[in-house]
Amino acid sequence: MVDLTQLMENEVFMAFASYATIVLSKMMFMSTATAFYRLTRKAFANPEDCTGSGKGENAKKYLRTDDRVERVRRAHLNDLENIVPFLGIGLLYSLSGPDLSMALLHFRLFVGSRIYHTIAYLTPLPQPNRALSFFLGYAVTISMAYRLLRSKLYL
């Protein structure tokens, strides 16, 4: 059996592992936030979820959408749409031997921008708070993709 721990002795890879785990944990928190708002605001998507809030016909009125729930769901989907490229491109970028300080800069900016994006979406803060945090994370991912393709393109 091969000792894979050598991969984890690479500092860039360890940094990527840490930041990726943090940003994924943040994304998972959105599921809890959705469940919280669905329960406190009694706004469910499935008939079987309403039975804790009422019986029979009375329960069906909780099959509805709620602004707060929909807002969390949009923030969650936006996370998915942006964290998936970061995971894929970031993993490959980490393996391509970048400079440690440059890699840390990318990871920190991305994770910071996504945390700020969530705060701006859920508060909500006035625009362009959310738009700017979105574009910062976007630009960081594009920058990693550019460096990766420039140095390692193989088609």
* Residue partners of 120: CB distance under 8 A and separation at least 6: 129, 130, 133
Phi first, then psi: give them for residue 99, nearest 5 degrees: -65, 135
Alpha helices (runs of H) in the chain, residue ranges in sequence order: 11-41, 56-60, 67-95, 100-122, 129-152
DSSP 124-140: TPPTTHHHHHHHHHHHH
Peptide bond into 85 cis (omega under 30): no
Determine, following the binding rule CB under 8 A, whether residue 141 of this chain makes contact with a copy of itself: yes
Contact flag: residue 149 with a copy of itself (CB under 8 A): yes
Nearest approach, Cβ of 94 to a copy of itself (angstroms)?
8
Question: In the complex, what is the shortest distance from the CB of residue 79 to a copy of itself, in angstroms, rounded to a whole number?
Answer: 9
Place of tokens 């929909």: 70
- Interaction of residue 105 with a copy of itself, rule CB under 8 A: no
CB of 102 to a copy of itself, least distance (A): 15
Among 58, 97, 99, 105, binds a copy of itself (CB under 8 A): 97
Between 46 and 57, CB nearer to a copy of itself: 46
Select the residue interacting with a copy of itself from 60, 61, 64, 74 (CB under 8 A).
Answer: 74
54 or 97: CB nearest a copy of itself: 97
